[in-house]
Amino acid sequence: MEQLTFKVQRYDPEKDKKPYIQTFTITFKHGMTVLDGLIYIKENVDNTLSFRSSCRMGICGSCGMLINKLPMLACHTPIEELHTDKIEVKSLPNFPIVKDLVPDLTPLFENHKSIKPYIIQNMEEVEKPTAEFMQAQLQLQEFVQFAYCVKCGLCMAACPTVATDKHFLGPQPLTQAFRYCADRRDAGAKERIKETDVPHGVWLCHLAGACSEACPKGVDPALAIQLLKRATVADGFRLTRKKAQPSVAPPLEQKKPKVAVPEFTIKKPGAKP
Amino acid sequence: MREVHLKTLQYVAGIGIFFLVGLHLLISHLGSGEPTEWSSVSQRAASAGWLAIYILILIFGIYHGMHGIRGLILELSLPNKAVKVLNWSMLSIGIAVFGYAVYIPINAF
Amino acid sequence: MEAASKGKAPLPNRLGIKGWAWAGRYKIERYLYTLHRITGFGLLFYISIHLIANGFRLGGQESWESLMNFMGNPGFKIGEYLVMAAFIIHALNGGRLILQHLGFTLGKPKPPIYPYVDSMRRRRPLTWILLALIMALALYVLAEFVLEVVE
């Protein structure tokens, strides 16, 4: 393909009543991503085009857009992988549009804040820290997948419940609620379950699986939400085992003694045998 | 009742419907005669076992259906203030439907 | 976050009911979600008719038999088959949902290593097997109905 047709959603709140599609034609270059195409359009064709981007390498989560009817990160989407020369780019659905391709992610951040996305622990260690909390590799693996979330909002755009229910927490906050509940250093599971076990909470997820499909970082929100449901059922029927307090790393003096270095087998010339 | 209890009852009702309605369909259709013939209907109406099955199917089915509709209405952005009204409405409608539906097999027994 | 222009709130952009109904380029689980809803509605509609029809029993044999004659209509026979199919789909998919909602059959969390494979994709073969079972049962019931109509 030599020429690409970009059908970009435009919306200027000062001039337009509703969004419309504007078509741009640009030359394809091998390795180009959708973000590269948008930057080219902004720099060479129409500098009023507005969109968010930052890292351009799929880690900041800024450039979430609806590309050919699926929510994707523009920087993470090579044009060649779309297998078409017609690229339709719209603002992320289920979020209000600020301008052109810029969504208002405030609902995501507000819902995320409401589930208390931080370690809640009542130990004196938290007030007067002496060392780090110990955590075994297997304990970390219970939740680390869900810690890779970059808050891009693609899962919220894909979710059918978020499409109709403005009070629903959404896949991202529910995933982070489970991420903290599963963390052995955390003692706030009951508080978080109170926030998620509500009419517009975790039970409005019906496992459509679109969130996991849309996630660009492999976080698998669908799995986290179902595990949160399991934790909620255990809590609801008082089947949860009390979490042991996390242990703190021992002070340096209590480290194991160093293993003695064995004698060198090859002696230096002139050294005593 | 917390949401988790309501949802767990939904699951239990679903499993209950699966087995009981499955039983209802199998026995009605595999038994002798046409299941909708008056003689067949009267025979089942006079059976205490069938009466118990019908009552259980009604309890599970009406709960499962009402809870499903409740979820759909919640998903249409129902404000949190209206959730209590929704709960009581669903309960009232469910009880009314159960009352009408259970009268028929009890009357026929 | 405020809109670029003063006083202009961001434009609402929710998909609405289209977000329920249109599964587009998403995978099989999203389609099963929509199918589960449609079959749920269908079964609710059937239950209302079934309960009203059962009320005719109270009128005695004549009232019951006149209703059965009316329901011998081919339209009702097709409706009966659709209800059976809806029951099979809703029940078996519901079983899958109950297991997965409680965290069973989805596997354990794994640190994401590219190319990412989420739990839905890992378990997709099981979902396809379930669908095959649903299709087999629905076809069997269809065969029974066709034989009944032909006879």
Q: Which residues of A touch C1 (CB under 8 A)?
A: 98, 104-106
Q: Which residues face A133 on adjacent strands?
A: A248
pLDDT band at B33, cuts 50/70/90?
low
Which H or E run contains B62?
A: helix B48-75
Give the pLDDT confidence score for residue B32 in this predicted structure: 60
Give the pLDDT confidence score for residue A160 in this predicted structure: 94
Cβ contact A9:A50 at 8 Å? no
Higher pLDDT residue, B1 or B72?
A: B72
Q: A110 vs chain B: nearest CA distance in angstroms?
A: 17
| Residue spans in chain A of domains classed CATH 3.10.20.30 | 3-103
Interface test with B, best of C34, C64, C66, C93 (most B CBs within 10 A): C64
Q: Which residues face A10 on adjacent strands?
A: A20
Using a pLDDT cut of 70, give the percent of chain A over it: 97
Q: A229 vs chain B: nearest CA distance in angstroms?
A: 8
Nearest to A197 among B3, B75, B76 (CB): B3
Which H or E run contains B58?
A: helix B48-75
Of A239, A132, A109, A127, the C-alpha closest to A184 is A132
CATH classification code of C27-150: 1.20.1300.10
pLDDT tens string B34-74: 777 777 778 777 788 888 999 999 999 999 999 999 999 99
Could A203 and B71 be called an inter-chain contact, meaning their C-beta atoms sit closer than 8 Å? Answer: yes
Interface test with A, best of B4, B11, B69 (most A CBs within 10 A): B4
Cβ contact A6:A37 at 8 Å? yes
Give the pLDDT confidence score for residue C2 in this predicted structure: 47
Cβ contact A224:B29 at 8 Å? no
Nearest to C98 among B11, B45, B68 (CB): B11
Task: Give the domain ranges of chain C.
Answer: 27-150
Residues 213-272 of A with CB under 8 A from C: 213, 215, 217-220, 222-224, 226-227, 229-230, 233
The CA distance from A63 to A259, in Å, is 52
Note whether ipTM > 0.85 here. yes
Q: B76 vs chain A: nearest CA distance in angstroms?
A: 5
Cβ contact A243:A142 at 8 Å? no
A146 touches chain C (CB under 8 A): yes
The amino acid occupying position A33 is: T
Chain A residue with minimum CA distance to B71? A204
Cβ contact A171:B52 at 8 Å? no
- Four-way CATH pick for A3-103: 3.40.50.2000, 1.20.950.20, 3.10.20.30, 3.90.1170.50: 3.10.20.30
Phi and psi of A208, rounded to 5°? -75, -25
Q: Which residues face A70 on adjacent strands?
A: A67
Count the neighbouring beta carbons within 10 Å of the beta carbon of residue A4: 21
Which ranges of chain A does DSSP label H, i.e. alpha helix? 34-40, 106-114, 124-127, 137-141, 154-158, 160-164, 171-181, 189-196, 210-214, 221-236
Phi and psi of A249, rounded to 5°? -60, 135
The CA distance from C86 to C92, in Å, is 10
Could A200 and B3 be called an inter-chain contact, meaning their C-beta atoms sit closer than 8 Å? Answer: no
| Residue spans in chain A of domains classed CATH 1.10.1060.10 | 106-236
User: How many domains, chain B?
Assistant: 1
A164 touches chain B (CB under 8 A): yes
Q: Which residues of A touch C24 (CB under 8 A)?
A: 69-70
Q: What six digits make up the tokens of C103? A: 């965290």
- Rounded to the nearest 10 degrees, the angle between the axes of helix A221-236 and helix B3-30 is 100
Give the pLDDT confidence score for residue A254 in this predicted structure: 61
DSSP 8-state code for residue A42: I
Chain C residue with minimum CA distance to B25? C84
pLDDT band at C1, cuts 50/70/90?
very low
Nearest to B3 among A167, A168, A203 (CB): A203
Q: Which residues face A6 on adjacent strands?
A: A24, A87
Nearest to C5 among A13, A93, A220 (CB): A13
Number of H helices, E strands in chain B: 4, 0
pLDDT tens string A15-42: 999 999 999 999 999 999 999 999 999 9
- Rounded to the nearest 10 degrees, the angle between the axes of helix C124-150 and helix C28-54 is 40
B71 touches chain A (CB under 8 A): yes
pLDDT band at C7, cuts 50/70/90?
low
B86 touches chain C (CB under 8 A): no
Averaged pLDDT, A77-106 = 95
Q: Which residues of B touch C33 (CB under 8 A)?
A: none
Give the lowest-confidence range in A198-207, B97-106, C6-15. C6-15
- CATH assignment at residue B63: 1.20.1300.10
Cβ contact C30:A160 at 8 Å? yes
For residue C115, cis peptide bond before it (omega within 30 degrees of 0): yes
Interface test with B, best of C18, C98, C100, C140 (most B CBs within 10 A): C98
What does the radius of gyration of chain B's CA atoms come to, in whole angstroms?
Answer: 17
pLDDT tens string C26-57: 889 999 999 999 999 999 999 999 988 888 88
Give the pLDDT confidence score for residue A21 in this predicted structure: 97
What fold characterizes domain A106-236? Fumarate Reductase Iron-sulfur Protein; Chain B, domain 2 (1.10.1060)
Instruction: Using alpha carbons, list the distances in angstroms from residue B26 to A232, A238, B30.
Output: 36, 38, 6
Q: Report residue A148 CA to chain centroid gap.
A: 6
Q: Which residues of B touch C57 (CB under 8 A)?
A: 41, 45, 104, 108
Tell whether the model's pLDDT for residue A130 goes beyond 90.
Answer: no
The amino acid occupying position A222 is: A
The CA distance from A62 to A72, in Å, is 11
The model carries a pTM of 0.89
Count the neighbouring beta carbons within 10 Å of the beta carbon of residue B106: 11
The residues, ordered by sequence, that sit 6+ positions from A84 with a Cβ below 8 Å of its Cβ are A68
The CA distance from A231 to A183, in Å, is 13
